[in-house]
Amino acid sequence: MPPQLGRLRAVLHPLLLLALTPLTSACAEDDPAQGIDPQAGLPFWAWQDASVEIRLIQRLPDQTRGFFIARGFSSESADRIARSCVFQSIQRNRGVGAAAPVVDLDLTQWQVTPLDDPKGSPRPLALKEAWDEEWEKAQESQAARIAFRWSLFPTRQTFRGGDYNWGMISFGLPPGTRFDLTLRWTLDGEPQEAILRGVSCASELVETDETAPD
């Protein structure tokens, strides 16, 4: 097999496996789902019920690095955020109109539990407020910090019927880490919780056929 095709296969193989795995459907009600996001071509994990949809799509570290360098970040700072397990997130109130239950999301209540560390204990996310303090110390430009502030998902947000928002979420874990994610929100003030299991941060390393055994 030509080396280029081998590498292509190495990259696409895990994605294909994920796509073909008979997991719960992406549209399953009251159930987590995972698969390949058709727009991004990358793995996603999602929760959906009648009122709320929470979808997390993996971002490649180089994709995030390139995005923030293009917004004016230094390569050092862009690398720091790129290597902190960034996902694209879309969160939506699935109701319509004023009568729909109100969804309140508060990312300070979400927790990650690393799976491959036997001592891994639940921990909070790396939120935009903490990052912004770092960018101030690093003397990143105003334009870069504004873009960062608006491209990360808000820490707290209220969603009324039909509202949605999108933005990046940084989980503060090294590339390739697998973890369980505890999602928490309120529906008309009532606490709700769901767990996305086996979420995986994108890796910077790609397994290739050149070094693999036959």
Partner 1 sequence: MRHLKRPTTPWPLAVTFMALLLSGPTHAGTASGDQSLTPIPERPAAPEFDLKDPEDRPQRLADYRGKAVILNFWATWCPPCREEMPSMQRAHEAVSGDGIALVAINVGEDADTIEQFLTNYPVEFPLPMDLDSRVVQSYPVKGLPTTFVIDPEGRLAYVATGGREWDDPKLLNQVRALKD
> In the complex, which residues of this chain contact partner 1 (CB under 8 A)?
3-4, 7-8, 11, 37, 39-42, 44, 55, 57, 59-60, 62-63, 66-67, 70-71, 88, 90, 92, 96-98, 142-143, 146-147, 149-151, 153-154, 156-157, 159-168, 204-208, 211-213
Spatial separation of the C-alpha atoms in residues 163 and 84, rounded to whole Å: 28
Neighbours of 18 (CB within 10 A): 16
Q: Do the Cβ atoms of 118 and 162 come closer than 8 Å?
A: no
Q: Which is nearer to partner 1, 26 or 113 (CB)?
A: 26
Residue 40 Cβ vs partner 1, minimum distance, rounded to whole Å: 4
Q: Which is nearer to partner 1, 56 or 183 (CB)?
A: 56
Q: Do the Cβ atoms of 187 and 204 come closer than 8 Å?
A: no
Q: Which is nearer to partner 1, 130 or 166 (CB)?
A: 166
Q: Which is nearer to partner 1, 7 or 184 (CB)?
A: 7
Residue 34 Cβ vs partner 1, minimum distance, rounded to whole Å: 14
Residue 155 Cβ vs partner 1, minimum distance, rounded to whole Å: 9
Residue 55 Cβ vs partner 1, minimum distance, rounded to whole Å: 7
**If you write DSSP's letter for every residue of 1-34 in order, what string do you get?**
--HHHHHHHHHHHHHHHHHHS----TT-TTEEEE
Q: Which is nearer to partner 1, 55 or 80 (CB)?
A: 55
Picking from 190, 199, 196, 148, the residue whose alpha carbon sits closest to that of residue 32 is 196
Residue 57 Cβ vs partner 1, minimum distance, rounded to whole Å: 6
